[in-house]
Amino acid sequence: MCCKGCCRGLLKAVMFSFNFLVCLAGFVVLGVGVWLVVDSESLFGILEHLEAAPPEISQLVYIGYPLVGVGTVLVIIGFLGCCGVIMESKCMLLTFFIIMLLLFLVELVVAIIAGLFLPLTGSLFAQIEDNAVQGIKTNYGVNDAFTATWDNTMTNLRCCGYNNYTDFDGSPFSMNGTYPSQCCAGVELCNEDVAALSDVRGCFPALVTFIEDNAVIFGAVALGVAVLEIAAMIASMIVYKGIRN
């Protein structure tokens, strides 16, 4: 058995490490949230221009704000936990535990709601497709903000339209028989023949592929954050009890 001072020092070191990782995870979540908020040219920006979009879809553009909030809270409680260990403050450790517990419960509720929401994504994606294609045919080449959003999305994801280049048929931009250069793999003079031969995938399949390719990473990060939160709560109570005794 280790001596009392050694065990207490080890617990404090573990507690500090857990909180440091929680704080680091908070910075990561905060960074992603800030990126989604300030990057108006991302694919989420397209949702702002959808006509008659369902409320569930239009609200997706605000997903960056709760991420900023969660990231900020993680940074604060991680910092609070580190200070509580260093200063051996029972008040700070108890406050840390309560805040962490509330945050974990909120995340659990959100995960359950997301799981219940998942079966409805098929119909929602169908509504997105109808609105996105109609928006391209109506606004692309006329609305500067809408056009710039799609241009940047197609450039970043190396895609064309929502499904493919045919989404631009009937739009003001394609009245003269031309298509965006992204539909022809960067060829400036992009016509229907070149677009068909280029066979550039649509932006929605590109986004689905991106999510599928990184789903394991997203899941692992979420699970890792949850494990760190639970471990930090347990360690905080152990250190709290040691200080009290």
Token pair 């659990």: residue: 108
8 A C-beta contact, residue 32 and residue 70? no
Q: Quick one: angle between helices 4-38 and 203-244, nearest 10?
A: 150
Residue among 229, 189, 211 nearest 74 (CA)? 229
Give residue 55's pLDDT: 47
Which residues, including other chains, have CB under 8 Å from residue 11's CB and lie 6 or more apart? 235, 238, 239, 242
Give residue 219's pLDDT: 75
Q: Which two tokens stand for residue 68?
A: 């900023």
Give Rg (Cα) of the chain.
Answer: 24
Give residue 121's pLDDT: 54
Token pair 């605000």: residue: 62
Q: Which two tokens stand for residue 159?
A: 């895609």
Residue ranges of the chain whose pLDDT lies below 50: 1, 40-41, 51-59
Give residue 46's pLDDT: 53
Token pair 């997706």: residue: 60
Give residue 122's pLDDT: 52
Give residue 54's pLDDT: 47
pLDDT tens digits, one per residue of 198-215: 888 888 877 777 766 776
pLDDT tens digits, one per residue of 124-139: 566 677 777 888 888 8
Neighbour-count burial of 212, counting CB atoms closer than 10 A to its CB (0-12 exposed, 13-18 middle, 19+ buried)? exposed
